[in-house]
Structure 1
Amino acid sequence: MTMGWKAVGLRIVAAAGLVAGAATGAAAQDKVTFGTNWLAQAEHGGYYQAVADGTYKKYGLDVTIRQGGPQAANRTLLVAGQIDFYMGGNMLQSIDSVKQGIPTIVVAAIFQKDPQMLMAHPDSGVEKFADLAKLPTIFMGKDGFITFFQWMKVAYPGFKDEQYKPYTFNPAPFIADKKSAQQGYITSEPFEVEKQAGWKPKMFLLADNGFDTYSTTIETTQKLVDTKSDMVQRFVDASIIGWYNYLYGDNKAANALIKKDNPEMTDAQLAFSIAKMKEFGIVESGEALAKGIGCMIDAQHKSFYDKMAGAKVVDAGVDYTKSFTTKYVCKGVGLDVKKKLAGG
């Protein structure tokens, strides 16, 4: 039987639709597990947003977020190949991985600035970052003492080891001691201090005083970059768009997912964190303003490495350039989304 041209045309269109559907279906089969490095919070918001609003799905990804926390070992799971992507902190661990021969690599930096800060009492006489050296006590975690505090002693003479007292994630000792400072995230600890003490602490962001590491990175394995580069690009792009939508769009569904994973999280804390991320340019500042969230440049990586090597926090001679690649970022992805949502 001979088919008319209309029937042939319909058959061709249908076949094309099946091919397109198969391609979409194949892309949707890319199951991805993303491990965070702490309990769910606004600082993870863009990833949850991309799950909640279907952005990952639009990019052919079926993403599961594996929450971090005190007992989690998500970075170990990344190295073991049991998860696909990991939310790193700052670049120090990535540089150390190069030294240790661990084949992981940072493919995007969602935070242009590390949210790490020191805070002081509002009436302690501390007006600028260097004034913190006059205080007899700084409550810090051990990791902070062996990393950013070693840099502080070099960059701002006057800081000394005797100031260190362990920070146990309880602000009460800081609140009680007017002549003390305490470390924390600018998006988190100040909120708790104000809630408990009834006054706003003075906040000094390390990033604004020379500690210029990228933070909240997207890290993966070199194997995944080598074998599934397209999937890496899609995950980076979708995550970036998720962050624009989280910061400027309707983030209610994302926050609901965050609170589901971390029931102790409150709407007030989420709102505070988002406001501080915007106020201090944590996500959007530097190169990210013109080239998009997630952007990294070689010069900033080198600046941070040189400072850390000078402070003997990392070994001189480590090839820090192996800790990251800029091939997936700085392409302006998501800037149109921001323009539509925020008008700029």
Structure 2
Amino acid sequence: MRSSITLLIGIALIFAGFCLSCEKKTSPEETITSQEEKSVPPTHLHKVRYTIKWLHQAQFAGAYMAKEMGFFQQYGLDVEIIQGGVDNPPYKALINGKTEFCSMNLITAVERNNPEFPLINLAQISQKNSSWLVGKKTTGIKNLQDLNGRKVGVWRDEAGDHIRYFLNDNKIRAQIIPLDWSVNLFLNDAIDMMNVMSYNEYHRILMAGMEPEDLVVFNLSDYGYDLVDDGTYTSRAYYIQHPELCKNFTKALIEGWIYALNHPDETVNVVVRYMRDNHLPANYNHQYWMLNRMRERILENPDKVGYLNPEDLALAEEILKRNGKLAYPVEYKEFFLQ
């Protein structure tokens, strides 16, 4: 009896194992998973660094979303996004080999371009001037000439070069007060005017309680300074070594921007996360404002996102030439590769 039971159990276990083996071979879920695994791109990604022009904020939302949504990865890139600003100027990071890509103002790139270290504009992200000078009407300032002898806050180093050229071209002899990123000197009347970006500091001034009608605004575009700002750059040497990589980086970045502008709520959440991860003060409404203003600059010409207009390059060269800062004239076709 005991032998018969043992034999029956053995047969049952063999049968059960056979059935499980059959189920495993015919499972549709496992077949789909196997096919999906075969379609996954290679895990090896080329590591590169992208130094943004300033601190983390919605001004660079396209880069964050290109990384967040996997666009960089789809093009075989593992991109580290690094803060710039006064403590890490993008051009210095590029020339010192601390980054492969960076964002800079067009006029900054044209001024820094030289035969020993020529630059390539991969994408002119911003298509419109964003620089203003803002003051309180209570100062009595009504026109540019009223700035003579006044205290004007201007960003340090390359971030504020174009403002200094603007004042010089208009024969303004103001007392320049170096600024970092705060608007506190302006709010506390320690300066009479300050340079702002229309998508950033101007709104922060409004958020502090000022009304637009309380302010006097000089838009540099109204005075022949319609300078486009944020562009994405690399060195010519790096481009020659890695042309496809540079093109793929550019494609992914632009795809990131298109996604960011089409999904503002999702994007602002990502921006705020980046800011908080880097211990920066983050205000959701302010970042939303910034992203909306960036839309106007990036989509100035919706059919040519990332395009550098030859006239914009010519204007930057003309301003630098007037100020004795154009050491090396730029050939458009060598500077911007379409």
Whether these two folds match at TM > 0.5 is yes
Q: Does 1:311 align with 2:326?
A: no
TM-score if structure 2 supplies the norm length? 0.75
Asked if 1:289 is matched to 2:302, the reply is yes
* Correspondence list, 1:229-248, <5 A: 229-248=243-262
Post-superposition offset of 1:126:
6.0
Counterpart residue number, 2:102: 86
Give the partner amino acid of 1:233. Answer: K
Give the residue type in structure 1 aligned to 2:133: L
State the SS of the aligned residue for 1:98: coil
The alignment partner of 2:113 has SS state of helix
Sequence identity percentage = 18
Alpha-carbon distance in 2 for matches of 1:199, 1:174: 14
1:264 to 263, 269, 281: 281
1:119 corresponds in structure 2 to 134
User: Residues of 2 paired with 1:169 and 1:224: CA distance?
Assistant: 32
Using a 3 Å threshold, how does the CA distance of structure 1 residues 94 and 255 change in structure 2: closer, same or farther?
Answer: same
Check conservation: 1:151, 1:311, Cα contact below 8 A: no
Quote the offset at 1:212 in angstroms: 3.3
Question: Which structure has the greater CA radius of gyration?
Answer: 2
Identify the match of residue 291 of structure 2 among 257, 268, 274. Answer: 274
Contact 1:118 1:205 in 2 (8 A): yes
Q: Does 1:254 align with 2:275?
A: no
Counterpart Cα distance in 2 of 1:92 and 1:172: 26
Deviation for aligned residue 1:229: 0.8
Aligned to 1:151: 166
Alignment of 1:61-100 (within 5 A): 61-72=77-88, 74-98=90-114
Task: State the partner residue of 1:338.
Answer: none
**Distance in structure 2 (CA, Å) of the matches to 1:241 and 1:87:** 17
Q: In structure 2, which of residues 60, 69, 75 is the aligned counterpart of residue 59 of structure 1?
A: 75
Q: State the shift of 1:227 in Å.
A: 1.9
TM-score normalized with structure 1 length: 0.73
Counterpart of 1:188 (choices 200, 209, 216) is 200
- Once the two structures are overlaid, the 10-residue window that deviates more, 235-244 or 131-140, is 131-140
Supply the distance in 2 between the matched residues of 1:70 and 1:298 (Cα, whole angstroms).
29
- Aligned partners of 2:250 and 2:71: how far apart in 1? 11
1:124 to 1:290, Cα distance in 2 relative to 1, 3 A: farther
Alpha-carbon distance in 1 for matches of 2:242, 2:192: 49
1:83 & 1:212 partners in 2: Cα distance?
29
- Range with bigger deviation, 56-65 or 248-257: 248-257
More moved, 265-274 vs 38-47: 265-274
Asked if structure 2 preserves the Cα contact closer than 8 Å seen for 1:48 and 1:257, the reply is: no
Query: By how many angstroms is 1:88 displaced?
Result: 1.6
Cα distance in 2 between the residues matched to 1:172 and 1:137: 14
Distance in 2, matches of 1:210 and 1:324, equals 26
Letter of the 1:291 counterpart: K
Q: 1:203–1:276: structure 2 CA closer, same or farther, 3 Å change rule?
A: farther
Aligned mates of 2:136, 2:284 — CA distance in 1: 26
Q: Is the 8 A contact 1:29 1:62 kept in 2?
A: yes
In the aligned structure 2, how far is the partner of 1:231 from the partner of 1:307? 33
Match of 2:335 in 1: 325
- The reply to whether residue 109 of structure 1 matches residue 124 of structure 2 is yes
- Indicate conservation of the 8 Å contact 2:268/2:287, yes or no: no
Q: Which amino acid aligns with 1:261?
A: N
- The separation in 1 between residues aligned to 2:334 and 2:130, in whole angstroms, is 20
Once the two structures are TM-superposed, the CA of residue 116 in structure 1 deviates from its matched residue by 2.2
Question: In the aligned structure 1, how far is the partner of 2:134 from the partner of 2:121?
Answer: 30
Cα shift readout 1:158-217 (whole Å, capped 9, x = no counterpart): x42135444464434433449922112222212222233443334433245422333221
Structure 1 residue aligned with 2:10: none
Out of 287, 298, 301, the residue aligned to residue 310 of structure 2 is 298
> Shift of the alpha carbon at 1:306?
1.3
Amino acid at match of 2:219: L
How far apart are 1:310 and its partner, in Å?
A: 1.7
Q: Structure 2 vs 1, CA of residues 299 and 193 (structure 1 numbering), >3 Å: closer, same or farther? A: closer
Matched residue of 1:320: which SS? coil
Which secondary structure state, in structure 1, belongs to the residue aligned with residue 274 of structure 2?
A: helix
Task: Decide whether aligned partners of structure 1 residues 323 and 40 sit closer, same or farther in structure 2, where only a CA change above 3 A counts.
Answer: farther
Contact 1:35/1:65 (<8 A) preserved? yes
Conserved in 1, the CA contact under 8 Å of 2:272 and 2:283? no
The answer to whether structure 1 residue 219 and structure 2 residue 233 are counterparts is yes
Alpha-carbon distance change, 223 to 142 in structure 1, aligned in 2, over 3 angstroms: closer
Residues of 1 paired with 2:103 and 2:131: CA distance? Answer: 16
Match of 1:174 in 2: 186
